[in-house]
C-alpha cells in the first residue's frame, strides 16, 4: 500500500514539475505567433473559444470541489461530476489548458496544451489509483469498473442526495481557477511586443 504521506509528497512533486513545465512552455510561447493573425475573424473565434473553455474550467473545478471538499483520500465520492468520470478536476483543468492555448489564437497551441496536460495528469492518476485501490479495496474497484478514468460518460450522471460543503475549499478552488484568466492579458501583451518588434517570432503556428 502507498502511504498517505508518500501520496501527498508525490502530489507536491507533481505540482512543482507541472509548474516548471508550464513556465518553460510560456517562455517558449514568447517567440511563437498564430499564423492566422491576418484573418482577424478566425483569430477572434479561436480566442473566444479559449475564453469560454477557461470559464468552463473555473466553474467546473468549483463544481467538483462541492463534492470532493477535501475528502478525496478519505472516501469514495460518486455523485455529480464524479458519477461520469473518476477525475473531473483533471478533465476541467485540461479544458482550461486548452483554453489558455487558444488565447494565442492558434488551434495547434490549444491542442498541444490539452494533450500535454492530459498526459501529465494520466501519470498522476495511475499513482493515485494504486493508492485508492489499496485504501478502499473492492468498493473502489467497482467504481473503476463502472466509471471511466477520464473521458466522461454522461449517461451515468446522478446527483448525491446530500452534500457537506466546505466554503473555504470552494473559495480557494475558485480563486485558484482565476489564474487561468491571466492568459488573456499575458498573450495580448506578447502580441503587442511581437507587433512592435520587441520580441522576435521564430515559429508561426495555425
pTM over 0.75: yes
Provide the pLDDT for residue 73: 58
Taking only the tens place, the pLDDT of each residue in 121-152 is 888 888 888 888 888 889 999 999 999 999 99
The C-alpha atoms of residue 34 and residue 191 are separated, in whole angstroms, by 9
Provide the pLDDT for residue 8: 67
- What b/e readout covers 120-134, taking b as 16+ CB neighbours within 10 angstroms? bbeebeeebeebbbe
Taking only the tens place, the pLDDT of each residue in 1-53 is 445 555 566 667 666 767 777 787 778 888 888 876 555 788 888 989 999 99
Least confident of 40-44, 84-88, 160-164, 195-199: 160-164
Provide the pLDDT for residue 148: 96
Fold of the 4-205 domain: 1.20.120
Of residues 168 and 46, more confidence is placed in 46
End-to-end alpha carbon distance in the chain: 46
Nearest to 89 by CA among 169, 6, 188: 169
CA distances for 65 relative to 21, 71, 81, 144, 196, angstroms: 25, 10, 10, 20, 43
Cell of 118: 492530459
| Average pLDDT value for residue range 152-157 | 95
Q: Answer yes or no: is pLDDT of 87 > 60.
A: yes
Instruction: Find out whether 109 and 102 touch, Cβ atoms under 8 Å.
Output: yes
Q: What are phi and psi of 37, to 5 degrees?
A: -65, -20
Amino acid at each position: 500500500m502507498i502511504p498517505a504521506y508518500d501520496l501527498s509528497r508525490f502530489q507536491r512533486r507533481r505540482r512543482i514539475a507541472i509548474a516548471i513545465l508550464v513556465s518553460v512552455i510560456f517562455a517558449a510561447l514568447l517567440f511563437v505567433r498564430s499564423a492566422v493573425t491576418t484573418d482577424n475573424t478566425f483569430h477572434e473565434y479561436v480566442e473566444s473559444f479559449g475564453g469560454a473553455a477557461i470559464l468552463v474550467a473555473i466553474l467546473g473545478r468549483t463544481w467538483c470541489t462541492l463534492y470532493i471538499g477535501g475528502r478525496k483520500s478519505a472516501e469514495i465520492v460518486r455523485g455529480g461530476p464524479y458519477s461520469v468520470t473518476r477525475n473531473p478536476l483533471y478533465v476541467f483543468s485540461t479544458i482550461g489548458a486548452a483554453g489558455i492555448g487558444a488565447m494565442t489564437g492558434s488551434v495547434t497551441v490549444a491542442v498541444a496544451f490539452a494533450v500535454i496536460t492530459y498526459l501529465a495528469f494520466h501519470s498522476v492518476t495511475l499513482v493515485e489509483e494504486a493508492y485508492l485501490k489499496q485504501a478502499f479495496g473492492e468498493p473502489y474497484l467497482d467504481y473503476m469498473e463502472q466509471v471511466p478514468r477520464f473521458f466522461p460518460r454522461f449517461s451515468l450522471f446522478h446527483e448525491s442526495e446530500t452534500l457537506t460543503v466546505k466554503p473555504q475549499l470552494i473559495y480557494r478552488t475558485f480563486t485558484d481557477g482565476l489564474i487561468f484568466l491571466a492568459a488573456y492579458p499575458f498573450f495580448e501583451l506578447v502580441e503587442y511586443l511581437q507587433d512592435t518588434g520587441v520580441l522576435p517570432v521564430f515559429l508561426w503556428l495555425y
